[in-house]
Structure 1
């Protein structure tokens, strides 16, 4: 039977998802700055994997953590690792062919995909309320980033769409790894990210030595740091809340990105963007309320008759 502890557990999950979105919002702005210095998206992904593996390896040695993963969870873990590699490489590469605003709008179709697919892939019942909320959130995202659809390159659209589909797959795969320890998830998934990203770099001819990171050291540091923190919080969030509510929380990422871009890069924020941000915030708050109602309804349904 579910208890009030389940409600607070879900609330912590959504809070972690929002914190992760903020970290990733910082990450995309600094990745754009690094890209201007000649550092490609897959290259940043490749080197940040090394940092993640070093930190996770140190934590495993320090805490003497086990690395075992239940055999039945390995298919989900493999899917999680491959989708993680594709999300990072495809999304950060799409901005080489598209304006960041367009790439963001295409990529942030993934919460819509997650909410629509959730009833088919999990035991979650279909909810018209949640579909309406995610569409409102997506509209808010489109208003925040204010896309310029002129001169679109189909390569960029394909990469951003691939990243969106991979992100949806990543959320469901992570949700299927609930009882797997955090450190094994991080270690094994990034050991899979490494060869996938290396293959992409070799195929595109984008491999550069570590010394190339000195072209934009601060941007690289923020990009890697934002990713490390954001990914950890994302994994922790998806162990506490189902993919649909978590994906909706990630609609806040471009809002954070625009705020950070305005503060750091001096980009102007207009009334339409403020209104879009308000829609996203309202959608996330509604999402929290709907999740609390769902958990309480489940608790009542499972309670023994008086």
Structure 2
């Protein structure tokens, strides 16, 4: 890949991370209005299947996945499902700050696995950038380590592992197929998994609940659709190790938007930690854009 392609991919990835982060406060508002997480995931997946399927058929008249991309697409669908289910479920057992910090170890997991999967070097510069971003998250979130439950810890780390797998699968799924087709099948795979989660939790709400929570649910779905689309496009243009570092900006976007949407005030620790994360992300983008990246 050329430097311009890498820079463009990282810029698109940063946009995806910001959109992912921005949809979290709206998800909380939707849950307060009766549209809880599993409900949003289920109906969001239905909507995306219709939209992506329609666009895919209009563009190529086929939704078939090339034989070489079927396993990565399957892996992408399963990993994407478990990212949400494990991460969201973990906060029932441990504080949100602890869950978030454990979940955002996934860029480190990507860095550690990338030499084996993609043949990338585990450079001191990338480890240093991750350390700076992780320190910023730790300061900004200020977790409380007094109430730890092994179930929450396990779920948060499983969510992190699923997120790392998602990046590697997305890179392969979108290079052997188009982002539209990969996205369609990913969301189709999510539907039965999300439905099972709703039934298990006893919260299979009717679609009318989205009408009651129309604005926050609509904003959440819109931001997620944009984030998911940009994520798949960025995955096609950028190697997972570089892209994972950029996604550290996601929780900062959540914190900043929460001040506007939820009326939550920013503490000095959140401002300081968020600044460190953003500095790390910018350094990562600049460093990666200056390198000639070999094709995966």
TM-score, normalisation: structure 2: 0.92
Mark the runs of 5 or more structure 2 residues left unpaired by the alignment.
none
- 1:38, distance to aligned residue in structure 2 (A): 4.1
Given the superposition, is the C-alpha separation of residues 188 and 55 from structure 1 closer, same or farther in structure 2, using an over 3 Å criterion?
A: same
Q: Is the 2:66–2:176 Cα contact (8 Å) retained in structure 1?
A: no
1:136-163 deviations in whole A, cap 9, x for unaligned? 1111122222223343444433332221
Q: Is residue 149 from structure 1 mapped to residue 150 from structure 2 by the alignment?
A: no
* Bigger shift: residues 86-95 or 23-32: 86-95
Query: How far apart, CA to CA, are the structure 1 residues paired with 2:193 and 2:291?
Result: 38
The higher radius of gyration belongs to 1
> Who is 1:208 aligned against?
205
Q: Is the 1:81–1:190 Cα contact (8 Å) retained in structure 2?
A: yes
Alignment of 1:167-186 (within 5 A): 167-177=163-173, 178-186=175-183
> Who is 1:190 aligned against?
187
Q: Is the 1:40–1:92 Cα contact (8 Å) retained in structure 2?
A: no
Query: How far apart, CA to CA, are the structure 2 residues paired with 1:166 and 1:135?
Result: 21
Q: Is residue 54 from structure 1 mapped to residue 16 from structure 2 by the alignment?
A: no
Query: How far apart, CA to CA, are the structure 1 residues paired with 2:57 and 2:63?
Result: 11
Query: How far apart, CA to CA, are the structure 2 residues paired with 1:84 and 1:263?
Result: 28
3-state SS of 2:208 partner: helix
Given the superposition, is the C-alpha separation of residues 215 and 148 from structure 1 closer, same or farther in structure 2, using an over 3 Å criterion?
A: farther
Q: How many residues align?
A: 294
- 1:66, distance to aligned residue in structure 2 (A): 3.1
> Who is 1:104 aligned against?
100
Query: How far apart, CA to CA, are the structure 2 residues paired with 1:196 and 1:146?
Result: 33
> Who is 1:116 aligned against?
112
Query: How far apart, CA to CA, are the structure 1 residues paired with 2:29 and 2:96?
Result: 12
Query: How far apart, CA to CA, are the structure 2 residues paired with 1:47 and 1:150?
Result: 36
3-state SS of 1:208 partner: coil
> Who is 1:274 aligned against?
271
TM-score, normalisation: structure 1: 0.89
1:8-35 deviations in whole A, cap 9, x for unaligned? 1111111111111111111111112223
RMSD (Å) for aligned C-alpha atoms: 2.0
Query: How far apart, CA to CA, are the structure 1 residues paired with 2:240 and 2:251?
Result: 19
Given the superposition, is the C-alpha separation of residues 227 and 219 from structure 1 closer, same or farther in structure 2, using an over 3 Å criterion?
A: same
Q: Is the 1:7–1:292 Cα contact (8 Å) retained in structure 2?
A: yes
Mark the runs of 5 or more structure 1 residues left unpaired by the alignment.
300-306
- 1:65, distance to aligned residue in structure 2 (A): 4.2
Aligned pair partner of 1:44 in 35, 40, 43: 40
> Who is 1:302 aligned against?
none
Query: How far apart, CA to CA, are the structure 1 residues paired with 2:72 and 2:157?
Result: 22
